Amino acid sequence: MILKSFEQFIFENILDENDLGKVYIALDDSDLEGDDFSYKKFCSSNFFKPLTPSTTDFNPDLPILNYSNDTCNHWIGKINNDNIYNLPKYSEEVSKKERFHQIVGLHENIPISVFTKNHAMNHLNFPVIAKPSDNHSGLGIKVFKNAEELKGNDDEFAVYSEFIDKSEEHRFMIFNGELIAWMERKPINQKAKTGEGDKDGEMEFAYEYKPDEALPADFTEIIKKFVELFPDLQYLTLDVMRGVDKKIYVIEINSKAGMPFDISAKLYQNIFKDFYGKKVGLETDKNLNTLSTELITKTLEKEKGKFTIQNGTT
Protein backbone atom coordinates (compact mmCIF):
# COMPACT_ATOMS: atom_id res chain seq x y z
CA MET A 1 0.00 0.00 0.00
CA ILE A 2 1.38 3.39 -1.05
CA LEU A 3 0.73 6.16 1.44
CA LYS A 4 -0.35 9.43 -0.12
CA SER A 5 -0.14 12.91 1.24
CA PHE A 6 -3.36 14.82 1.94
CA GLU A 7 -2.60 17.13 -1.00
CA GLN A 8 -2.21 14.13 -3.36
CA PHE A 9 -5.48 12.63 -2.09
CA ILE A 10 -7.41 15.87 -2.64
CA PHE A 11 -5.85 16.46 -6.07
CA GLU A 12 -6.66 12.98 -7.33
CA ASN A 13 -10.26 13.23 -6.11
CA ILE A 14 -10.67 16.54 -7.92
CA LEU A 15 -9.06 15.07 -11.02
CA ASP A 16 -11.32 12.00 -11.02
CA GLU A 17 -14.55 13.82 -10.24
CA ASN A 18 -17.11 13.56 -13.03
CA ASP A 19 -19.00 16.81 -13.32
CA LEU A 20 -20.78 15.90 -16.55
CA GLY A 21 -24.54 15.37 -16.46
CA LYS A 22 -25.05 17.69 -13.50
CA VAL A 23 -27.03 20.32 -15.42
CA TYR A 24 -30.31 19.62 -17.22
CA ILE A 25 -31.25 21.08 -20.58
CA ALA A 26 -35.03 21.19 -21.01
CA LEU A 27 -35.92 19.94 -24.50
CA ASP A 28 -38.88 18.60 -26.44
CA ASP A 29 -38.94 14.84 -26.95
CA SER A 30 -38.55 15.42 -30.69
CA ASP A 31 -35.17 17.11 -30.10
CA LEU A 32 -33.71 13.72 -29.17
CA GLU A 33 -34.94 11.91 -32.28
CA GLY A 34 -33.01 11.22 -35.48
CA ASP A 35 -29.39 10.40 -36.18
CA ASP A 36 -28.22 13.68 -37.69
CA PHE A 37 -25.90 15.88 -35.66
CA SER A 38 -27.61 18.70 -33.81
CA TYR A 39 -26.30 20.78 -30.96
CA LYS A 40 -29.29 19.78 -28.80
CA LYS A 41 -28.82 16.05 -29.30
CA PHE A 42 -25.02 16.21 -29.01
CA CYS A 43 -24.88 18.29 -25.85
CA SER A 44 -27.65 16.31 -24.15
CA SER A 45 -25.85 13.05 -24.97
CA ASN A 46 -22.44 14.16 -23.74
CA PHE A 47 -22.56 16.75 -20.95
CA PHE A 48 -26.00 18.28 -20.36
CA LYS A 49 -28.60 15.88 -18.93
CA PRO A 50 -31.75 15.86 -21.11
CA LEU A 51 -35.06 16.77 -19.47
CA THR A 52 -38.27 16.17 -21.43
CA PRO A 53 -41.86 15.39 -20.44
CA SER A 54 -40.92 11.70 -20.82
CA THR A 55 -38.04 11.79 -18.31
CA THR A 56 -38.57 9.13 -15.64
CA ASP A 57 -35.67 9.79 -13.25
CA PHE A 58 -36.08 13.53 -12.72
CA ASN A 59 -33.81 15.02 -10.04
CA PRO A 60 -35.31 18.30 -8.77
CA ASP A 61 -32.01 19.36 -7.19
CA LEU A 62 -30.18 19.90 -10.51
CA PRO A 63 -30.10 23.24 -12.36
CA ILE A 64 -32.06 23.47 -15.63
CA LEU A 65 -31.26 25.41 -18.80
CA ASN A 66 -34.63 26.16 -20.41
CA TYR A 67 -34.69 25.32 -24.12
CA SER A 68 -38.34 24.23 -23.98
CA ASN A 69 -41.02 26.23 -22.20
CA ASP A 70 -43.44 23.32 -22.62
CA THR A 71 -41.12 20.93 -20.80
CA CYS A 72 -40.44 23.35 -17.95
CA ASN A 73 -44.16 24.02 -17.59
CA HIS A 74 -44.79 20.27 -17.59
CA TRP A 75 -42.58 19.91 -14.50
CA ILE A 76 -43.84 23.03 -12.71
CA GLY A 77 -44.73 22.06 -9.16
CA LYS A 78 -41.96 19.48 -9.01
CA ILE A 79 -39.05 21.81 -9.66
CA ASN A 80 -37.56 24.73 -7.79
CA ASN A 81 -37.99 27.83 -9.93
CA ASP A 82 -34.68 29.12 -8.56
CA ASN A 83 -32.98 26.22 -10.37
CA ILE A 84 -34.26 27.27 -13.81
CA TYR A 85 -32.08 29.43 -16.02
CA ASN A 86 -34.63 31.48 -18.00
CA LEU A 87 -38.03 30.86 -16.44
CA PRO A 88 -40.72 30.19 -19.08
CA LYS A 89 -42.67 33.38 -18.32
CA TYR A 90 -39.64 35.54 -19.15
CA SER A 91 -38.54 33.39 -22.07
CA GLU A 92 -42.04 33.50 -23.58
CA GLU A 93 -42.18 37.25 -23.12
CA VAL A 94 -39.10 38.05 -25.19
CA SER A 95 -40.12 35.58 -27.91
CA LYS A 96 -42.87 38.05 -28.85
CA LYS A 97 -41.40 40.80 -31.00
CA GLU A 98 -44.00 43.34 -29.92
CA ARG A 99 -43.25 42.64 -26.25
CA PHE A 100 -39.54 43.15 -26.86
CA HIS A 101 -40.27 46.60 -28.31
CA GLN A 102 -42.67 47.42 -25.50
CA ILE A 103 -40.01 46.62 -22.89
CA VAL A 104 -37.22 48.63 -24.53
CA GLY A 105 -39.55 51.47 -25.51
CA LEU A 106 -38.25 54.45 -27.44
CA HIS A 107 -34.54 53.62 -27.23
CA GLU A 108 -31.66 55.26 -29.06
CA ASN A 109 -30.31 51.85 -30.13
CA ILE A 110 -33.61 50.46 -31.44
CA PRO A 111 -35.08 51.33 -34.85
CA ILE A 112 -38.18 53.51 -34.45
CA SER A 113 -41.10 51.07 -34.23
CA VAL A 114 -44.89 51.06 -33.98
CA PHE A 115 -47.53 48.34 -33.66
CA THR A 116 -50.24 49.18 -36.21
CA LYS A 117 -50.35 49.66 -39.96
CA ASN A 118 -52.01 53.06 -39.55
CA HIS A 119 -49.24 54.33 -37.26
CA ALA A 120 -46.60 52.92 -39.61
CA MET A 121 -48.06 54.74 -42.63
CA ASN A 122 -48.38 58.03 -40.78
CA HIS A 123 -45.36 58.15 -38.48
CA LEU A 124 -42.50 56.09 -39.95
CA ASN A 125 -40.02 56.92 -42.67
CA PHE A 126 -40.05 54.37 -45.50
CA PRO A 127 -38.89 51.77 -46.31
CA VAL A 128 -40.54 49.96 -43.39
CA ILE A 129 -39.85 46.40 -42.30
CA ALA A 130 -42.90 44.55 -40.92
CA LYS A 131 -42.56 41.52 -38.65
CA PRO A 132 -44.94 38.89 -37.24
CA SER A 133 -44.98 38.25 -33.51
CA ASP A 134 -42.97 35.10 -32.97
CA ASN A 135 -41.48 33.68 -36.16
CA HIS A 136 -37.74 33.18 -36.56
CA SER A 137 -35.12 33.21 -39.34
CA GLY A 138 -36.91 36.07 -41.08
CA LEU A 139 -40.08 34.04 -41.70
CA GLY A 140 -43.06 36.30 -42.26
CA ILE A 141 -40.96 39.46 -42.55
CA LYS A 142 -41.69 41.85 -45.40
CA VAL A 143 -40.23 45.20 -46.46
CA PHE A 144 -42.51 47.93 -47.82
CA LYS A 145 -40.94 50.66 -49.91
CA ASN A 146 -43.75 53.16 -49.46
CA ALA A 147 -47.05 53.77 -47.70
CA GLU A 148 -49.08 52.74 -50.77
CA GLU A 149 -47.49 49.28 -50.77
CA LEU A 150 -48.21 48.84 -47.08
CA LYS A 151 -51.78 50.11 -47.36
CA GLY A 152 -52.56 47.58 -50.06
CA ASN A 153 -51.23 44.63 -48.07
CA ASP A 154 -53.63 42.53 -45.98
CA ASP A 155 -51.10 40.46 -44.02
CA GLU A 156 -51.07 40.68 -40.24
CA PHE A 157 -47.91 42.00 -38.57
CA ALA A 158 -47.07 42.68 -34.92
CA VAL A 159 -44.33 45.30 -35.34
CA TYR A 160 -43.44 47.87 -37.99
CA SER A 161 -39.95 49.41 -37.88
CA GLU A 162 -37.98 51.87 -39.93
CA PHE A 163 -35.61 49.91 -42.13
CA ILE A 164 -31.92 50.24 -41.25
CA ASP A 165 -29.35 50.04 -44.02
CA LYS A 166 -26.70 47.90 -42.35
CA SER A 167 -22.97 47.62 -42.89
CA GLU A 168 -22.41 44.65 -40.53
CA GLU A 169 -24.36 42.33 -38.25
CA HIS A 170 -23.41 40.32 -35.15
CA ARG A 171 -24.78 37.80 -32.66
CA PHE A 172 -23.68 38.05 -29.02
CA MET A 173 -24.39 35.19 -26.61
CA ILE A 174 -24.40 36.35 -23.00
CA PHE A 175 -24.54 34.60 -19.63
CA ASN A 176 -25.01 36.59 -16.41
CA GLY A 177 -24.06 39.76 -18.22
CA GLU A 178 -20.81 38.38 -19.66
CA LEU A 179 -20.15 37.64 -23.32
CA ILE A 180 -19.49 33.91 -23.84
CA ALA A 181 -19.60 33.80 -27.65
CA TRP A 182 -19.49 36.22 -30.56
CA MET A 183 -20.36 35.49 -34.18
CA GLU A 184 -20.50 37.87 -37.11
CA ARG A 185 -23.51 37.20 -39.33
CA LYS A 186 -22.93 37.66 -43.05
CA PRO A 187 -25.98 37.73 -45.36
CA ILE A 188 -26.16 35.00 -47.99
CA ASN A 189 -29.46 35.68 -49.75
CA GLN A 190 -31.24 38.88 -50.75
CA LYS A 191 -33.74 38.71 -47.91
CA ALA A 192 -30.92 38.65 -45.36
CA LYS A 193 -29.22 41.58 -47.11
CA THR A 194 -32.16 43.90 -47.66
CA GLY A 195 -35.25 42.21 -46.19
CA GLU A 196 -36.76 42.00 -49.68
CA GLY A 197 -38.14 38.75 -51.05
CA ASP A 198 -40.84 36.19 -50.34
CA LYS A 199 -42.57 36.89 -47.03
CA ASP A 200 -42.47 33.18 -46.22
CA GLY A 201 -38.81 32.74 -47.16
CA GLU A 202 -35.99 32.55 -44.62
CA MET A 203 -33.11 34.94 -44.16
CA GLU A 204 -29.90 32.98 -44.73
CA PHE A 205 -26.64 33.93 -43.04
CA ALA A 206 -23.09 32.65 -42.82
CA TYR A 207 -21.58 32.76 -39.33
CA GLU A 208 -17.98 33.64 -38.51
CA TYR A 209 -17.03 32.63 -34.97
CA LYS A 210 -14.72 35.04 -33.16
CA PRO A 211 -13.47 33.14 -30.08
CA ASP A 212 -10.32 35.18 -29.51
CA GLU A 213 -11.02 38.71 -30.76
CA ALA A 214 -11.47 41.50 -28.23
CA LEU A 215 -14.93 43.05 -28.41
CA PRO A 216 -14.99 46.75 -29.43
CA ALA A 217 -15.96 49.09 -26.61
CA ASP A 218 -19.19 50.31 -28.27
CA PHE A 219 -20.50 46.74 -28.52
CA THR A 220 -19.55 46.11 -24.89
CA GLU A 221 -21.59 49.15 -23.89
CA ILE A 222 -24.62 47.95 -25.87
CA ILE A 223 -24.49 44.56 -24.16
CA LYS A 224 -24.39 46.24 -20.76
CA LYS A 225 -27.38 48.44 -21.60
CA PHE A 226 -29.60 45.62 -22.78
CA VAL A 227 -28.66 43.11 -20.10
CA GLU A 228 -29.94 45.68 -17.60
CA LEU A 229 -33.26 45.84 -19.47
CA PHE A 230 -33.77 42.06 -19.13
CA PRO A 231 -32.57 41.21 -15.61
CA ASP A 232 -34.69 38.05 -15.36
CA LEU A 233 -32.91 36.30 -18.25
CA GLN A 234 -29.61 34.81 -17.11
CA TYR A 235 -28.86 33.65 -20.63
CA LEU A 236 -29.73 35.62 -23.75
CA THR A 237 -28.64 36.35 -27.29
CA LEU A 238 -28.56 39.80 -28.86
CA ASP A 239 -28.72 40.27 -32.63
CA VAL A 240 -27.04 43.57 -33.35
CA MET A 241 -26.25 45.53 -36.49
CA ARG A 242 -24.14 48.54 -37.29
CA GLY A 243 -25.85 50.83 -39.78
CA VAL A 244 -24.09 52.58 -42.62
CA ASP A 245 -24.59 55.63 -40.39
CA LYS A 246 -22.13 53.91 -37.95
CA LYS A 247 -24.81 53.71 -35.27
CA ILE A 248 -25.46 50.41 -33.45
CA TYR A 249 -28.96 48.93 -33.41
CA VAL A 250 -30.29 45.95 -31.45
CA ILE A 251 -32.71 44.07 -33.68
CA GLU A 252 -33.79 41.13 -31.58
CA ILE A 253 -33.29 39.27 -28.33
CA ASN A 254 -33.49 35.48 -28.06
CA SER A 255 -33.43 33.13 -25.08
CA LYS A 256 -33.09 29.87 -27.04
CA ALA A 257 -30.76 30.62 -29.94
CA GLY A 258 -28.96 27.86 -31.81
CA MET A 259 -25.58 26.90 -30.34
CA PRO A 260 -23.10 26.06 -33.11
CA PHE A 261 -19.37 25.51 -32.52
CA ASP A 262 -18.53 24.86 -28.84
CA ILE A 263 -21.07 27.31 -27.42
CA SER A 264 -23.13 24.62 -25.67
CA ALA A 265 -20.01 23.40 -23.83
CA LYS A 266 -19.16 26.96 -22.77
CA LEU A 267 -22.69 27.39 -21.50
CA TYR A 268 -22.52 24.16 -19.50
CA GLN A 269 -19.30 25.31 -17.81
CA ASN A 270 -20.80 28.71 -16.97
CA ILE A 271 -24.03 27.32 -15.54
CA PHE A 272 -22.13 24.71 -13.51
CA LYS A 273 -19.86 27.35 -11.99
CA ASP A 274 -22.77 29.71 -11.26
CA PHE A 275 -24.98 27.06 -9.65
CA TYR A 276 -22.42 24.99 -7.75
CA GLY A 277 -20.03 27.82 -6.92
CA LYS A 278 -16.99 26.11 -8.43
CA LYS A 279 -15.51 25.21 -11.79
CA VAL A 280 -15.89 21.73 -13.23
CA GLY A 281 -13.17 19.31 -12.12
CA LEU A 282 -9.94 18.90 -14.06
CA GLU A 283 -10.94 15.63 -15.70
CA THR A 284 -14.31 17.04 -16.71
CA ASP A 285 -12.61 20.15 -18.08
CA LYS A 286 -10.35 17.93 -20.16
CA ASN A 287 -13.34 15.95 -21.45
CA LEU A 288 -15.24 19.13 -22.29
CA ASN A 289 -12.24 20.44 -24.24
CA THR A 290 -12.24 17.24 -26.30
CA LEU A 291 -15.99 17.49 -26.87
CA SER A 292 -15.63 21.18 -27.78
CA THR A 293 -13.15 20.27 -30.52
CA GLU A 294 -15.61 17.70 -31.85
CA LEU A 295 -18.45 20.23 -31.74
CA ILE A 296 -16.41 22.76 -33.70
CA THR A 297 -15.42 20.12 -36.28
CA LYS A 298 -19.03 18.97 -36.71
CA THR A 299 -20.23 22.55 -37.07
CA LEU A 300 -17.67 23.33 -39.75
CA GLU A 301 -18.54 20.14 -41.63
CA LYS A 302 -22.31 20.52 -41.35
CA GLU A 303 -22.63 23.15 -44.05
CA LYS A 304 -19.25 24.00 -45.52
CA GLY A 305 -18.85 27.70 -46.09
CA LYS A 306 -21.77 28.68 -43.87
CA PHE A 307 -19.76 28.32 -40.65
CA THR A 308 -16.22 29.62 -40.34
CA ILE A 309 -13.78 30.61 -37.62
CA GLN A 310 -11.99 33.92 -37.70
CA ASN A 311 -8.54 32.36 -38.16
CA GLY A 312 -9.67 31.14 -41.56
CA THR A 313 -10.86 27.62 -40.74
CA THR A 314 -13.91 26.49 -42.73
- Helix 88-95 with 97-104: angle, nearest 10 deg: 100
**Is 21 found in the same domain as 146?**
no
**Is 249 found in the same domain as 273?**
no
Residue 10 pLDDT greater than 50, yes or no:
no
In a domain, 1, yes or no: no
Is residue 163 within 8 Å of 129, Cβ to Cβ?
yes
In a domain, 116, yes or no: yes
**Is 206 found in the same domain as 176?**
yes
**Is 70 found in the same domain as 112?**
no
Average pLDDT over residues 203-212: 90
Residue 137 pLDDT greater than 70, yes or no:
no
**Is 231 found in the same domain as 146?**
yes
**Is 35 found in the same domain as 127?**
no
CATH number at residue 186: 3.30.470.20
In a domain, 104, yes or no: yes
Q: What pLDDT is stored for residue 4 in this prediction?
A: 44
Q: Domain boundary at 215, 232, 254, which?
A: 254
Domain count across the chain = 2
**Is 179 found in the same domain as 124?**
yes
Q: 133-139, long-range: CB within 8 Å, 24+ apart, which pairs? A: 133/96, 133/97, 133/98, 133/158, 133/159, 134/95, 134/96, 134/97, 137/202, 137/203, 138/191, 138/192, 138/195, 138/201, 138/202, 138/203, 139/200, 139/201, 139/202
Q: What pLDDT is stored for residue 199 in this prediction?
A: 67
Residue 94 pLDDT greater than 70, yes or no:
yes
As a whole number of angstroms, the distance between CA 226 and CA 57 comes to 38
Q: What pLDDT is stored for residue 176 in this prediction?
A: 97
**Is 279 found in the same domain as 165?**
no
**Is 296 found in the same domain as 237?**
no
**Is 82 found in the same domain as 107?**
no
Q: What pLDDT is stored for residue 2 in this prediction?
A: 40
**Is 72 found in the same domain as 108?**
no
Q: Domain boundary at 254, 271, 301, which?
A: 254
Q: What pLDDT is stored for residue 98 in this prediction?
A: 86
- pTM assigned to the model: 0.88
Query: Which residues span the domain enclosing 140?
Result: 93-254
**Is 69 found in the same domain as 178?**
no
Is residue 85 within 8 Å of 271, Cβ to Cβ?
yes
pLDDT one-digit tens code per residue, 24-77? 999 999 999 876 678 999 999 999 999 999 999 999 999 999 999 999 999 988
